[in-house]
Amino acid sequence: MDPITVSTTIDRPREEVFEYLADIANHAEFTDHYMVDWHLLREDPYGAGAGARFRVKAPLSRFSWADFTFAEVQPPYRIVERGRGGKYNRIRMLGTYTLSPGPGGTTKVEYTLETLPVMLSDKLMEALGGRAWSRRQASKSMRRLRTILEEGRGRGRRASVAAR
């Protein structure tokens, strides 16, 4: 799929926004409207190598589990997450958070999501609404991120380590 990009401007310093995003356990708070049942992949949720597994509540999706791991963490301006999802984890995903300073101490957060479906059936699902659905959900998550960091409200539940 062609990349989708959404952005928001948050009235907080870039370093503060980066610290929040560099902890993958926090991502469950602002994406829990479409990503649920979060489980951390290791005890330390911060920085490169931190990852989580979750279920995506997409319409008509029979294989909803996916995961992301922070592949690159470049303070205070970029976080790259790589993951997989779909049936047999065959759909590769790449998410990038880019933080740039804005006027008056604000931070512009830009999130880009790319997927690489392998099978024709996966490509068809993306073409028939999957891309638009993903853009809407990502836009809502950016609005929720802004609300959480600026106003301290609207927090969902933080992810935790899965029980053994």
Which CATH number do you get for residue 93? 3.30.530.20
Structure tokens at 30: 């602002």
Show the domain range for 141: 4-161
Task: Give the H/E segment covering residue 39.
Answer: strand 35-40
With 60 as the cut, is the pLDDT of residue 155 above it? yes
With 70 as the cut, is the pLDDT of residue 30 above it? yes
pLDDT in tens, 121-135: 777 777 776 778 889
Mean pLDDT of 6-24: 97
Domain count, the chain: 1
Residues near 121 by beta carbon (within 8 Å), at least 6 away in sequence: none
